[in-house]
Protein backbone atom coordinates (compact mmCIF):
# COMPACT_ATOMS: atom_id res chain seq x y z
CA UNK A 1 0.00 0.00 0.00
CA UNK A 2 1.43 3.43 -0.90
CA UNK A 3 1.96 5.95 1.90
CA UNK A 4 -0.75 8.29 0.59
CA UNK A 5 -3.26 5.41 0.31
CA UNK A 6 -2.41 4.40 3.87
CA UNK A 7 -2.90 7.96 5.06
CA UNK A 8 -6.33 8.14 3.38
CA UNK A 9 -7.29 4.79 5.00
CA UNK A 10 -6.03 6.02 8.38
CA UNK A 11 -7.94 9.31 8.09
CA UNK A 12 -11.15 7.49 7.10
CA UNK A 13 -10.79 4.93 9.88
CA UNK A 14 -10.10 7.65 12.46
CA UNK A 15 -13.23 9.49 11.33
CA UNK A 16 -15.23 6.25 11.54
CA UNK A 17 -13.88 5.46 15.03
CA UNK A 18 -14.76 8.99 16.18
CA UNK A 19 -18.32 8.62 14.88
CA UNK A 20 -18.56 5.17 16.52
CA UNK A 21 -17.27 6.42 19.87
CA UNK A 22 -19.47 9.49 19.81
CA UNK A 23 -22.48 7.36 18.89
CA UNK A 24 -21.70 4.96 21.76
CA UNK A 25 -22.41 7.58 24.43
CA UNK A 26 -18.98 7.03 25.97
CA UNK A 27 -17.89 9.96 28.17
CA UNK A 28 -16.47 12.25 25.52
CA UNK A 29 -13.77 13.65 27.76
CA UNK A 30 -12.27 10.66 29.48
CA UNK A 31 -12.79 7.15 28.17
CA UNK A 32 -13.26 8.04 24.51
CA UNK A 33 -9.90 9.84 24.47
CA UNK A 34 -8.09 6.75 25.72
CA UNK A 35 -10.02 4.47 23.37
CA UNK A 36 -9.55 6.79 20.43
CA UNK A 37 -5.80 7.05 21.04
CA UNK A 38 -5.54 3.25 21.25
CA UNK A 39 -7.51 2.87 18.01
CA UNK A 40 -5.33 5.50 16.33
CA UNK A 41 -2.05 3.88 17.44
CA UNK A 42 -3.21 0.38 16.54
CA UNK A 43 -4.34 1.45 13.08
CA UNK A 44 -1.23 3.49 12.44
CA UNK A 45 0.88 0.44 13.33
CA UNK A 46 -1.32 -1.90 11.26
CA UNK A 47 -1.18 0.38 8.23
CA UNK A 48 2.53 1.03 8.74
CA UNK A 49 1.99 4.76 8.63
CA UNK A 50 4.97 6.66 10.03
CA UNK A 51 3.91 7.78 13.48
CA UNK A 52 5.99 10.77 14.44
CA UNK A 53 8.83 9.86 16.78
CA UNK A 54 9.67 12.13 19.69
CA UNK A 55 13.37 11.69 18.90
CA UNK A 56 12.85 13.68 15.71
CA UNK A 57 11.89 16.80 17.69
CA UNK A 58 14.64 18.46 19.67
CA UNK A 59 13.88 19.45 23.28
CA UNK A 60 14.32 23.18 22.91
CA UNK A 61 12.28 25.91 24.54
CA UNK A 62 11.47 29.56 24.12
CA UNK A 63 10.92 32.27 26.72
CA UNK A 64 7.76 33.88 28.11
CA UNK A 65 8.59 37.10 26.23
CA UNK A 66 8.91 35.18 22.96
CA UNK A 67 5.52 33.50 23.53
CA UNK A 68 3.93 36.87 24.23
CA UNK A 69 5.17 38.21 20.87
CA UNK A 70 4.68 35.02 18.81
CA UNK A 71 1.01 34.82 19.84
CA UNK A 72 0.37 38.58 20.20
CA UNK A 73 -0.85 37.90 23.75
CA UNK A 74 -2.67 40.75 25.47
CA UNK A 75 -2.73 41.15 29.27
CA UNK A 76 -6.29 39.74 29.19
CA UNK A 77 -5.08 36.72 27.17
CA UNK A 78 -2.36 36.06 29.76
CA UNK A 79 -4.92 36.13 32.57
CA UNK A 80 -7.17 33.59 30.80
CA UNK A 81 -7.05 29.78 31.09
CA UNK A 82 -4.26 28.80 28.67
CA UNK A 83 -3.16 25.42 27.32
CA UNK A 84 0.39 25.39 25.96
CA UNK A 85 0.41 22.36 23.68
CA UNK A 86 3.84 20.97 22.70
CA UNK A 87 5.38 23.37 25.21
CA UNK A 88 8.39 21.10 25.82
CA UNK A 89 11.04 22.85 27.92
CA UNK A 90 9.75 26.39 27.19
CA UNK A 91 9.88 28.89 30.05
CA UNK A 92 6.35 30.16 29.32
CA UNK A 93 4.45 28.22 31.99
CA UNK A 94 7.00 28.96 34.75
CA UNK A 95 7.00 32.71 34.14
CA UNK A 96 3.23 32.98 33.51
CA UNK A 97 2.59 31.12 36.79
CA UNK A 98 5.01 33.41 38.63
CA UNK A 99 2.91 36.35 37.32
CA UNK A 100 -0.32 34.78 38.62
CA UNK A 101 -1.40 33.23 35.30
CA UNK A 102 -3.32 30.01 34.76
CA UNK A 103 -1.33 27.87 32.30
CA UNK A 104 -1.29 24.10 31.73
CA UNK A 105 1.39 22.75 29.40
CA UNK A 106 1.20 19.37 27.71
CA UNK A 107 3.90 17.47 25.87
CA UNK A 108 5.05 13.83 25.57
CA UNK A 109 8.40 15.02 26.98
CA UNK A 110 6.80 15.27 30.44
CA UNK A 111 6.85 11.47 30.75
CA UNK A 112 10.50 11.94 31.74
CA UNK A 113 12.05 13.26 34.92
CA UNK A 114 13.92 16.52 35.23
CA UNK A 115 17.38 14.88 35.12
CA UNK A 116 16.56 13.12 31.83
CA UNK A 117 15.19 16.33 30.23
CA UNK A 118 18.21 18.35 31.44
CA UNK A 119 20.58 15.77 29.93
CA UNK A 120 18.72 15.84 26.56
CA UNK A 121 18.86 19.66 26.50
CA UNK A 122 22.60 19.61 27.23
CA UNK A 123 23.19 16.93 24.56
CA UNK A 124 21.20 18.98 22.04
CA UNK A 125 22.73 22.38 22.77
CA UNK A 126 25.89 22.10 20.59
CA UNK A 127 23.94 20.68 17.62
CA UNK A 128 21.31 23.43 17.71
CA UNK A 129 23.95 26.16 18.02
CA UNK A 130 26.01 24.65 15.16
CA UNK A 131 22.87 24.49 12.96
CA UNK A 132 22.11 28.15 13.71
CA UNK A 133 25.69 29.14 12.75
CA UNK A 134 25.53 27.11 9.52
CA UNK A 135 22.17 28.63 8.51
CA UNK A 136 22.57 32.25 9.65
CA UNK A 137 20.63 33.49 6.60
CA UNK A 138 17.49 31.57 7.61
CA UNK A 139 17.09 33.82 10.66
CA UNK A 140 16.50 37.50 11.35
CA UNK A 141 19.13 38.70 13.84
CA UNK A 142 17.39 41.73 15.34
CA UNK A 143 15.89 40.20 18.48
CA UNK A 144 19.11 38.26 19.17
CA UNK A 145 22.35 39.95 18.13
CA UNK A 146 24.34 36.72 17.80
CA UNK A 147 24.16 32.93 18.05
CA UNK A 148 25.75 33.16 21.52
CA UNK A 149 23.05 35.57 22.71
CA UNK A 150 20.36 33.28 21.28
CA UNK A 151 21.90 30.36 23.17
CA UNK A 152 22.02 32.33 26.43
CA UNK A 153 18.36 33.46 26.19
CA UNK A 154 17.09 29.99 25.34
CA UNK A 155 19.16 28.28 28.08
CA UNK A 156 17.81 30.80 30.61
CA UNK A 157 14.22 30.04 29.51
CA UNK A 158 14.84 26.29 29.70
CA UNK A 159 16.49 26.75 33.11
CA UNK A 160 13.28 28.39 34.35
CA UNK A 161 11.33 25.40 33.02
CA UNK A 162 13.69 22.88 34.67
CA UNK A 163 13.49 24.68 38.04
CA UNK A 164 9.67 24.68 37.84
CA UNK A 165 9.03 21.25 36.32
CA UNK A 166 8.74 18.88 39.31
CA UNK A 167 6.56 21.30 41.32
CA UNK A 168 4.48 22.18 38.24
CA UNK A 169 3.96 18.51 37.37
CA UNK A 170 2.77 17.77 40.92
CA UNK A 171 0.33 20.71 40.57
CA UNK A 172 -0.99 19.40 37.22
CA UNK A 173 0.58 22.28 35.26
CA UNK A 174 2.77 19.94 33.17
CA UNK A 175 0.77 17.05 31.71
CA UNK A 176 2.15 14.21 29.61
CA UNK A 177 0.02 14.14 26.46
CA UNK A 178 0.37 14.17 22.72
CA UNK A 179 -1.63 15.28 19.76
CA UNK A 180 -3.88 14.31 18.10
CA UNK A 181 -5.68 13.23 21.31
CA UNK A 182 -5.60 15.25 24.53
CA UNK A 183 -6.78 14.19 28.01
CA UNK A 184 -8.78 17.36 28.75
CA UNK A 185 -12.49 17.99 28.98
CA UNK A 186 -14.33 20.00 26.31
CA UNK A 187 -13.80 23.77 26.66
CA UNK A 188 -11.33 23.42 29.55
CA UNK A 189 -9.34 26.40 28.27
CA UNK A 190 -9.97 29.84 26.81
CA UNK A 191 -6.88 29.70 24.62
CA UNK A 192 -4.67 26.88 23.29
CA UNK A 193 -1.22 27.87 22.02
CA UNK A 194 0.96 25.64 19.88
CA UNK A 195 4.46 26.94 19.20
CA UNK A 196 6.99 25.31 16.87
CA UNK A 197 5.28 21.97 16.38
CA UNK A 198 2.30 22.04 13.97
CA UNK A 199 3.27 23.34 10.50
CA UNK A 200 6.96 23.45 11.50
CA UNK A 201 7.32 19.66 11.10
CA UNK A 202 5.33 19.62 7.86
CA UNK A 203 7.49 16.95 6.27
CA UNK A 204 7.01 14.52 9.14
CA UNK A 205 3.38 15.35 10.03
CA UNK A 206 0.77 15.08 7.28
CA UNK A 207 -2.33 17.08 6.52
CA UNK A 208 -4.72 14.70 8.32
CA UNK A 209 -2.58 14.87 11.47
CA UNK A 210 -2.83 18.66 11.34
CA UNK A 211 -6.61 18.59 10.88
CA UNK A 212 -7.16 16.05 13.67
CA UNK A 213 -4.85 17.96 16.02
CA UNK A 214 -6.41 21.38 15.40
CA UNK A 215 -9.93 19.97 15.80
CA UNK A 216 -8.83 18.42 19.08
CA UNK A 217 -7.34 21.72 20.26
CA UNK A 218 -10.65 23.43 19.32
CA UNK A 219 -12.51 20.81 21.39
CA UNK A 220 -10.56 21.68 24.55
CA UNK A 221 -10.19 25.46 23.99
CA UNK A 222 -12.39 28.30 22.78
CA UNK A 223 -9.61 29.64 20.54
CA UNK A 224 -6.45 28.09 19.11
CA UNK A 225 -3.32 29.97 18.01
CA UNK A 226 -0.51 28.28 16.08
CA UNK A 227 2.92 29.76 15.34
CA UNK A 228 4.86 29.75 13.04
CA UNK A 229 3.31 28.88 9.68
CA UNK A 230 6.72 28.10 8.21
CA UNK A 231 8.27 24.63 7.99
CA UNK A 232 11.87 23.73 8.83
CA UNK A 233 14.23 25.48 6.43
CA UNK A 234 12.23 28.75 6.63
CA UNK A 235 9.84 27.81 3.82
CA UNK A 236 6.06 28.28 3.90
CA UNK A 237 4.37 25.09 5.16
CA UNK A 238 2.50 23.34 2.32
CA UNK A 239 -0.28 22.45 4.80
CA UNK A 240 -1.37 26.00 5.67
CA UNK A 241 -3.69 26.58 2.68
CA UNK A 242 -5.33 23.11 2.50
CA UNK A 243 -5.70 22.83 6.29
CA UNK A 244 -7.31 26.31 6.51
CA UNK A 245 -9.80 25.46 3.76
CA UNK A 246 -10.68 22.05 5.23
CA UNK A 247 -11.21 23.55 8.69
CA UNK A 248 -13.45 26.25 7.22
CA UNK A 249 -15.42 23.54 5.39
CA UNK A 250 -15.87 21.81 8.77
CA UNK A 251 -17.36 25.01 10.26
CA UNK A 252 -14.36 26.61 11.95
CA UNK A 253 -13.37 30.26 11.64
CA UNK A 254 -9.75 30.52 10.50
CA UNK A 255 -7.67 33.66 10.19
CA UNK A 256 -3.99 34.38 9.65
CA UNK A 257 -2.53 37.34 11.53
CA UNK A 258 0.82 39.11 11.42
CA UNK A 259 2.60 39.14 14.81
CA UNK A 260 5.41 41.36 16.14
CA UNK A 261 7.93 38.47 16.14
CA UNK A 262 10.18 37.13 13.39
CA UNK A 263 13.23 35.00 14.10
CA UNK A 264 12.91 32.25 11.51
CA UNK A 265 12.88 34.33 8.30
CA UNK A 266 9.28 34.64 7.04
CA UNK A 267 7.92 33.23 10.31
CA UNK A 268 5.95 36.29 11.39
CA UNK A 269 2.34 35.08 11.20
CA UNK A 270 0.10 32.94 13.37
CA UNK A 271 -3.08 31.02 12.61
CA UNK A 272 -6.16 31.62 14.80
CA UNK A 273 -8.90 28.99 14.76
CA UNK A 274 -12.18 28.82 16.64
CA UNK A 275 -15.55 27.16 16.31
CA UNK A 276 -17.78 29.65 14.45
CA UNK A 277 -20.33 29.71 17.28
CA UNK A 278 -17.61 30.54 19.88
SS3 38: helix
Residue whose C-beta lies closest to ligand SAM: 88
- Beta-carbon neighbour count of residue 105 at 10 Å? 30
Shortest distance in whole angstroms from residue 25 CB to ligand SAM: 28
Q: Which is nearer to ligand SAM, 120 or 253 (CB)?
A: 120
Q: Which is nearer to ligand SAM, 60 or 199 (CB)?
A: 60
Shortest distance in whole angstroms from residue 254 CB to ligand SAM: 20
Instruction: Name 195's bridge partners.
Output: 227
* Dist. CA 205–CA 202, nearest whole Å: 5
- CA of residue 165 relative to chain centroid, distance: 18
Residues at the contact surface with ligand SAM, assessed by CB under 6 A: 52, 54, 57-62, 85-88, 90, 107-109, 178-179, 195-197
Shortest distance in whole angstroms from residue 184 CB to ligand SAM: 13
Q: Which is nearer to ligand SAM, 125 or 253 (CB)?
A: 125
Shortest distance in whole angstroms from residue 206 CB to ligand SAM: 13
Residues 35 and 26: beta-carbon distance below 8 Å: yes
Q: Which is nearer to ligand SAM, 183 or 253 (CB)?
A: 183
* Dist. CA 46–CA 43, nearest whole Å: 5
Q: Which is nearer to ligand SAM, 140 or 253 (CB)?
A: 140
* Dist. CA 106–CA 104, nearest whole Å: 7
Amino acid sequence: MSTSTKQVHLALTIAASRVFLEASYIDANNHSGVLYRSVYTLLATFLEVDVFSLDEVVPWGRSFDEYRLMFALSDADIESRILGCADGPAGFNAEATRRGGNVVSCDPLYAHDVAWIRRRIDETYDTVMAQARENLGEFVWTMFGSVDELGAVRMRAMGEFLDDFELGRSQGRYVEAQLPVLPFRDHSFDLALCSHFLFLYSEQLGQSFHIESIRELCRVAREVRIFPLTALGAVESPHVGPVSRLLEDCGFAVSIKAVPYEFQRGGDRMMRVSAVSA
